[in-house]
Amino acid sequence: MVSNSQLFNQIQSTSYGEHGEELQEKKNNKKKGIEKKERSHRYAFRTRSQVDILDDGYRWRKYGQKAVKNNRFPRNYYRCTHGGCSVKKQVQRLTEDEGVVVTTYEGVHTHPIQKSSDNFEQILQQLQIYRSL
């Protein structure tokens, strides 16, 4: 008569086959730290603003939005539109202080700033106009 543990081990080895050995090897390598993913540079900024998207001189394409636990404001995900540049940014408003926007950049731009800083001055002027209304 075969015990439950022997039957389970037999089923496990036949269902995984060679892939089971590969999975076990990957687990062992992770424990040893062999397969560590290189982390890119991350920078986070807190800005007091009524506008979620601030002009930082680069062009961004939105590729996602996610509801975040314990925060009523969604997190927005952006990628730099310049070819070959892999910088990403996340933008989220704080629940504790709705006037604060947290922008997190991941990576380093491989190109110069695409837009002039004159745009930033225009945005500030628009904000002043909205405040006066």
Confidence class for position 90, pLDDT limits 50, 70, 90: very high
- What superfamily does domain 42-132 belong to in CATH? WRKY domain (2.20.25.80)
Domain spans of the chain, in order of start: 1-37, 42-132
Q: Could you give the percent of the chain with pLDDT greater than 70?
A: 55
Residues 6+ apart with CB under 8 A from 113: 57, 58
The b-or-e profile of 57-79 (16+ CB within 10 A means b, else e) is: ebebeeeeeeeeeeeebebbbbb
Confidence class for position 39, pLDDT limits 50, 70, 90: low
Q: Say what the pLDDT of residue 41 is.
A: 83
Would you say residue 4 has pLDDT above 70? Answer: no
pLDDT tens digits along 112-124:
887 655 556 666 6
**Distance, CA of 32 to CA of 46 (rounded, Å):** 37
Would you say residue 73 has pLDDT above 90? Answer: yes
pTM of this structure: 0.58
Mean pLDDT, rounded, for 62-87: 92
Tokens of 76: 């927005």
Give the residue from 85, 82, 76 showing the smallest Cα distance to 104.
Answer: 76
